[in-house]
Amino acid sequence: MPTKRLFGLFGMILLTIVAFAQIPVAEMDIPAFHARPPKTPQKPLLHGDQLKGPYFSHPYQVTAYQMAEKIPDILYQLPCYCRCDMALGHKSLRSCYEDSHGATCSICMREAVYAYQQKLKGKTASQIRAGIERAEYLEIDLEHIKL
C-alpha cells in the first residue's frame, strides 16, 4: 500500500511539473492586465478633492493620478509590477488608481507616468506594455514629473 501511494504522489508531482512546463516563464511572471480596452463602465479613478490628505502629501502623487485620469483605458491594459494583483486582487494598473494604493507605491506611479508619457508620443497600449515589461518605467524620476 505505501508503494502505491508513493507512486501516486510521484505521478501527481510529475504531472504538475509537465503542466507548468507548458507555460512560458515570461507569461507566468507578468502581472494581471487586460488585452483590450474595457467594454463596460469601470469604477472611477480618484480625482479632484479626493487627491488630498495624507496619501497625497507630495505633488508627484497628485500629478500621477491626474495623468492616470487622462489614460484610464490604457492603464486597464497594463500590468502592475508591484504585484498588487496578488496582494490586493487588482486586475490591472488601472485598479491602483481607483483607490489610494497608487499614491503609496512608487512602482505604480512610475508605471502610470511612463504610460502617460508614452501615450503622448503616440504609443499603443501594447507598445507601452512591452516597455513596462522591459522595466523602462524605472527611469522615471517622480520628483520632476509635469503634467
How many residues in the chain? 147
Please report, for residues 7, 11, 79, the alpha-carbon distance to residue 20 in angstroms, rounded to integers and kept in the order given: 20, 14, 21
Over residues 45-63, mean pLDDT? 96
Q: Amino acid letter at 77?
A: Q
CA distance 110 to 91: 18
Per domain, the residue ranges of the chain are: 1-30, 31-144
pTM of model > 0.75: yes
How many degrees, rounded to 5, is the angle at CA 142 between CA 139 and CA 145? 100
pLDDT in tens, 78-96: 998 888 878 888 899 999 9
Would you give the DSSP letter of residue 23? S
Read off the C-alpha cell for 43.
469604477
